[in-house]
Chains A and B, each alone.
Chain A
C-alpha cells in the first residue's frame, strides 16, 4: 500500500502549477478571446502523456494525466484539453493519436447529444465515428466551455471504444482542482478582510465553513486519486470508483464555490471577481455526462445489487 505521488509526479504537479499560473492568471481577461496554448501543451508533452513514444507520446500513465486535470481545474484553464485527452482519446487509432500528441488536432466527444467546445475543436467522436466539427453552439452554464449540437457529415469509423471511467475520473480531478482553488481564495480573503476590527477568519461562522470545504476537498481528492489509480491499472473497481469520484468531487466543488462566494461577501457576487467563473466550471462538471444522482444509482447497483422491480 503506497498512496502518494512519486517524486517525479510531484515535480510534474509543481511544473504544471507554475506554467499554468503564468499563462492563465486570475486577473486575465476572461471575457476576451483565449489562447489555449495548444502548441505549448504539445511541447510539454501534455497532449501525449499516456501515449507510447512511437506515437510521439511520453509513455506515462493516466495518473500523470490525472495530475494535469487537477492542475488545469486549479488554473481554470480554457481550451479543449478535457475534450481531447479526457473524452475522445480512447476512441482514436494510432495515427489520430500521434496527431493529437503533435498538437495538430483538437477533438471532442458527443455525449447525450451535446458536444463540448464544438466551435474550437477540429474533429468530434460520435457513435464510434469521427466527424468534422460543425454545428450550432448552445449557451452553457460555463461560457468558457460551450456545448454544441453536432451536424454530422461523413463519418469515419474509429477503432477504439469509450472509456467512461476515464472520462469521469478526469472530470473528478478537474473538480478537485477547482475546489482547491476556491478554498484558497476563501482563506486568503478571510485572512485579509477586516470587519469589526478583526480579520473575518477569526469568526467561527466563517472559519468553520472553510474547514468544511477543506474536509470535502480532501475526501474528494482521495476518491479522485483512487479512481485514477484504478483507471491507470485497469483495476476491476475502476467503474464504481470513477462514478463515486465524479459524484462526490463535483458536488464538493459546487459546494466549495458556494461557500467561497459567501465568505467573500458582496465582492464574491460581482462579475469582476473570478469566483463565478470557477462556480460555473463546477456546475458544468457536475452536470455534464451523468449527474451525481445518476452516478449514485450506478453505485447502488454495484453495492446493493440491481433493483428488483415490482409490478
Chain B
C-alpha cells in the first residue's frame, strides 16, 4: 500500500499540470456542462487539443490512437482536469462506451475506421439503448432489425439519447429475432446517424436545456458489416458497454464532484463561515467525497492487479449520484436569500443532478445489481 504517485505517475502529473496551465484559457475554467457544450466550437477544439497532446484515450492501445498508459494515468488525468476545472472531452459516449465495446467485439476494420476519430472528436457518438417501453428493462427493446441480404432494415424509436443531435454514429441495440427467447433475439450494431431515415428530435429537460434526444429510425438500411458481435449476441455485447459505462466512470464522476465541492467551499467561506450547522453539512460532503475518491483508488488497484473490476466500484455511481444531488442542493441553501435566484450555476447543477440517479442505470437497478451480484442475494424477478 502506497498512496503516493510512483516516479512515473509524478512525472506525468507534473507534465500534465504544466500543459493545462499553458493551454486552458482562464475564462474557460469552471466547466458548467449543459447545452452550451454542443454549440460552442471551443469544446470540440479543446477535445482535439487533448487528443493532439496525447491525453485522449490514455489507456487505449497506441495502434488505435491511444497512449497505452496504465489506468492510474487516466485517474491522474481526471484529478488534474478537476483541479484545473477543465472541460471534459465532448466524445463522452465514444470514449466511455462505444470505443471500449468496439475494442472488445469489433472487427479490425471497425477498429481502424472508428477508434482514432472518437479520440480526436472528429466523430461524435450516441447511444441507442433506451426506448419508451424499455428503460431499466433493456431486454424489452422493440426496435426491429430485419435482415435483407447484406443489410439490416431498422425501424423503431430510441429515447433519452445524449449527443444524438450532433452525433455521427450510434451504438444501437434492437430486436432481430422476435421469436427467440428473451436476450437471444437482440443484435448490436453501429448506425450512421446521417443515413436516410434517421431523425433526431431534441428533448428539453427540467433544466430547460436540451442535452438528450429521441431518435426515430424509419427503414434505415444498415450494412451487415456494421454489426458488433454476431446477430443475436446483442445482449452480451451490450453488457460490455454497460460494464465500461459504470466501470470507468468512477473517477470521472468524483472528479466532477471535486469541482462542485471546490465551489461549495468557496460559498461556505464567503457566506456561512461562522454557521456551525452549515459547516457540519459542508464537512459531511467533503468527507463523503474523500470516501468516494479512495474507494475509486481501491477499485483501481484491484483492476490493475487482477484485470477485473472489483466489487468496490459498483457503489461509485450510486453514491456519486446521491451525493451530487445533496451537494448541489446545499450549494443553493448556503447562498441564503440569494438561493432563490437563478445564478446560472447552482440552479442549473441542482436541477441537472436529478437526472444523475436515473441516467446510466437507475439507483434502483444499481441496488439490484449490488444485492444480486455482490451480496449474492436471491434475484427479485
Choice from B1, B312, B378 contacting A229 with Cβ under 8 Å: B1
Query: Knowing A4-B305, A297-B279 touch, does A204 contact B367 (C-beta < 8 A)?
Result: yes
Query: Which residues of A1-48 have CB atoms within 8 Å of chain B's CB atoms?
Result: 1-6, 9
Q: Is the CB of B280 within 8 A of A3?
A: no
Query: Knowing A207-B380, A215-B319 touch, does A225 contact B1 (C-beta < 8 A)?
Result: yes
What residues on A are CB-neighbors of B276 within 8 Å? Answer: 297, 307
Choice from B72, B269, B288, B371 contacting A201 with Cβ under 8 Å: B371
CA distance A151 to B378 in the complex (A): 55
What residues on A are CB-neighbors of B75 within 8 Å? Answer: 1
What residues on A are CB-neighbors of B368 within 8 Å? Answer: 204, 207-208, 211
Q: Is the CB of A300 within 8 A of B288?
A: no
Stretch at the interface among A216-224, A265-273, A279-287: A216-224
Does B291 count as interface, using CB distance less than 8 angstroms?
A: yes
Does B67 count as interface, using CB distance less than 8 angstroms?
A: no
What is the predominant secondary structure among interface residues of chain B facing chain A?
helix
What residues on B are CB-neighbors of A235 within 8 Å? Answer: 3
Kindly provide the distance from the CB of B280 to the nearest chain A CB, expressed in whole angstroms.
5
Q: Is the CB of B274 within 8 A of A308?
A: yes
Chain A, interface residues (CB within 8 Å), range: 35 or more
Does B290 count as interface, using CB distance less than 8 angstroms?
A: yes
Does B182 count as interface, using CB distance less than 8 angstroms?
A: no
Q: Is the CB of A4 within 8 A of B280?
A: no
Q: Is the CB of B273 within 8 A of A210?
A: no
Does A149 count as interface, using CB distance less than 8 angstroms?
A: no
Stretch at the interface among B4-12, B123-131, B218-226: B4-12
Q: Is the CB of B279 within 8 A of A222?
A: no
Q: Is the CB of A214 within 8 A of B370?
A: yes
Query: Which residues of A189-221 have CB atoms within 8 Å of chain B's CB atoms?
Result: 190-191, 198-199, 201-204, 207-208, 210-212, 214-215, 218-221
Choice from A4, A63, A215, A247 contacting B287 with Cβ under 8 Å: A247
Q: Is the CB of A299 within 8 A of B286?
A: yes
Q: Is the CB of A207 within 8 A of B312?
A: no
Kindly provide the distance from the CB of B10 to the nearest chain A CB, expressed in whole angstroms.
10
CA distance A237 to B379 in the complex (A): 42
Kindly provide the distance from the CB of A237 to the nearest chain B CB, expressed in whole angstroms.
9
CA distance A202 to B375 in the complex (A): 12
Complex interface bits, B263-300 against A, C-beta within 8 A gives 1, otherwise 0: 00100110001101001101110111011111101101
Kindly provide the distance from the CB of A168 to the nearest chain B CB, expressed in whole angstroms.
13
Among residues of B, the one whose C-beta sits closest to the C-beta of A190 is: B377
Does B301 count as interface, using CB distance less than 8 angstroms?
A: yes
Query: Knowing A1-B300, A3-B301 touch, does A296 contact B1 (C-beta < 8 A)?
Result: no
Q: How many residues of B contact A (CB 8 A)?
A: 53
Q: Is the CB of B72 within 8 A of A308?
A: no
CA distance A37 to B122 in the complex (A): 68
What residues on B are CB-neighbors of A219 within 8 Å? Answer: 288, 291-292, 295, 315, 319
Does B59 count as interface, using CB distance less than 8 angstroms?
A: no
Does B318 count as interface, using CB distance less than 8 angstroms?
A: yes
Q: Is the CB of B377 within 8 A of A210?
A: yes
Among residues of B, the one whose C-beta sits closest to the C-beta of A306 is: B273
Kindly provide the distance from the CB of B177 to the nearest chain A CB, expressed in whole angstroms.
30
Q: Is the CB of A299 within 8 A of B294?
A: no
Query: Knowing A5-B1, A207-B368, A229-B1 touch, does A223 contact B290 (C-beta < 8 A)?
Result: yes
What residues on B are CB-neighbors of A223 within 8 Å? Answer: 287, 290-291, 294
What residues on B are CB-neighbors of A215 within 8 Å? Answer: 315, 318-319, 370
Does A248 count as interface, using CB distance less than 8 angstroms?
A: yes
Q: Is the CB of A191 within 8 A of B378?
A: yes
Among residues of A, the one whose C-beta sits closest to the C-beta of B261 is: A303
On A, residues with C-beta under 8 Å from B are 1-6, 9, 63, 187, 190-191, 198-199, 201-204, 207-208, 210-212, 214-215, 218-223, 225-226, 229, 235, 241, 244, 247-248, 293, 296-297, 299-300, 303-305, 307-310
On B, residues with C-beta under 8 Å from A are 1-6, 9, 72, 75, 265, 268-269, 273-274, 276, 279-280, 282-284, 286-288, 290-295, 297-298, 300-302, 305, 311-312, 315, 318-319, 364, 367-368, 370-372, 374-380
- Besides A212-B367, A219-B315, 15 more A-B contacts (Cβ < 8 Å) are A1-B2, A1-B75, A4-B305, A201-B377, A202-B380, A207-B372, A207-B377, A207-B380, A214-B315, A218-B315, A219-B292, A219-B295, A219-B319, A229-B1, A305-B269
Closest 7 CB pairs of A and B: A222-B294, A219-B291, A207-B371, A296-B283, A300-B279, A201-B377, A299-B283
20 A-B Cβ contacts within 8 A?
A: A2-B2, A4-B1, A187-B376, A191-B377, A202-B379, A204-B368, A204-B371, A208-B367, A208-B368, A210-B371, A214-B375, A218-B315, A219-B319, A226-B3, A235-B3, A244-B286, A299-B286, A303-B283, A304-B273, A308-B273
